[in-house]
Amino acid sequence: MINAGENVVPVYDFPEGAIAAISAAARYGSWRAKPAGHIVQIPVNREAIDQVMANNQAGWLSQTDAATLLGAAGIELTPSSIAHSAEEAAAAAAAFNRPVAVKIVEPAVLHKSDVGGVVLNIPAAEAANGYNRLAAQLAAHGVRMTAATVSPMAKPGVEVLAGVTNDPVFGPLVAFGSGGVMVELFDDVVFRVLPLTDRDVSEMIEETRVSRLLKGYRGSPPADVSALERLLLALGALAEAAPRIAEIDLNPVIVHPNGEGISLIDARVRLSD
């Protein structure tokens, strides 16, 4: 920097530094020129939140408690039943009366597909065999299965992820990006600090590569982005209402064509002390 009377003039040794500074100033100016977002008030059931917090120490929540906590902010998971045997799996599938997915119930397993923990598109009449097949796949990876979820197969759509992570510096952050089994491969995730505004969630979606699929890609219909934005706002409201939430992982979230909503296939929730 060089002092020139009352003004300070920046001086750079190389043109690259000056170009980077001008670029940053231009981005900041564009950001300031955009209209301010509005904080959307999402109602939360604090009684349900308090109940889950009172019944759990630090660690991963059971499927039931995770569903209760998410439901406190209006986040509903795909209907499912927990089966502890092949017979229970058959009964659950018969009640759904449509092809089902059978997955291991173990929150600590980060990626179920890595250990053979998922069997998809099982006809309802073959659910018992599907349960036994799942147990055999897990045993081949050294994992013992004690229970599995049985849920109806969701309609097709765009697979994304959504969630919450707690950063030691910034606090709770809402995450969004490409989902499914290749989430790490794509590395397509963005974060925002709380509180979230309607502008925040819109920009989060727009900044990811998966946004091209959500808009409709090569003949596919546009996805229900409005439902996805509501989900992100609800996650932000839940993270603010429950500071003990250390992590929420919703993957995959299937975004159906516009007007048809979303399906939350799998959820993992971890609490801190």
For each successive 10 residues of the chain (273 residues), what is the average pLDDT? 65 87 85 79 95 94 93 94 93 93 80 85 93 92 89 92 93 93 77 94 95 89 96 97 96 94 93 92
pTM listed for this prediction: 0.84
Residues 49, 43: Cα–Cα separation, whole Å: 12
Q: Which helix (H) or strand (E) holds 200?
A: helix 198-206
CB 172 within 8 A of CB 239: yes
Residues 89, 93: Cα–Cα separation, whole Å: 6
- What amino acid is encoded at 69 in this protein? L
Partnered with residue 150 across adjacent β-strands are: 81, 102
Distances (CA, A) of 167 to 42, 59, 158: 23, 17, 28
Burial class (CB in 10 A: 0-12, 13-18, 19+), 245: buried
Structural domains present in the chain? 46-77+155-271 (3.30.470.20), 81-152 (3.30.1490.20)
List the one residue out of 135, 46, 19, 31 whose CA is nearest residue 88.
Answer: 135
Partnered with residue 256 across adjacent β-strands are: none
Q: Could you tell me where the DSSP H helices lie in 97-166?
A: 127-140
The pLDDT assigned to 33 comes to 73
CB 135 within 8 A of CB 163: no
List the one residue out of 240, 166, 157, 146 whose CA is nearest residue 197.
Answer: 240
Ranges of beta strands (E only) in the chain are 2-4, 7-9, 59-60, 81-83, 100-104, 118-122, 148-152, 158-167, 171-178, 189-193, 245-255, 262-264, 267-271
CB 89 within 8 A of CB 252: no
The pLDDT assigned to 74 comes to 96
The pLDDT assigned to 112 comes to 81
Buried b (16+ CB within 10 A) or exposed e, 98-114: ebbbbbbbbbebeebee
Residues 156, 122: Cα–Cα separation, whole Å: 16
Residue with structure tokens 């060089």?
2
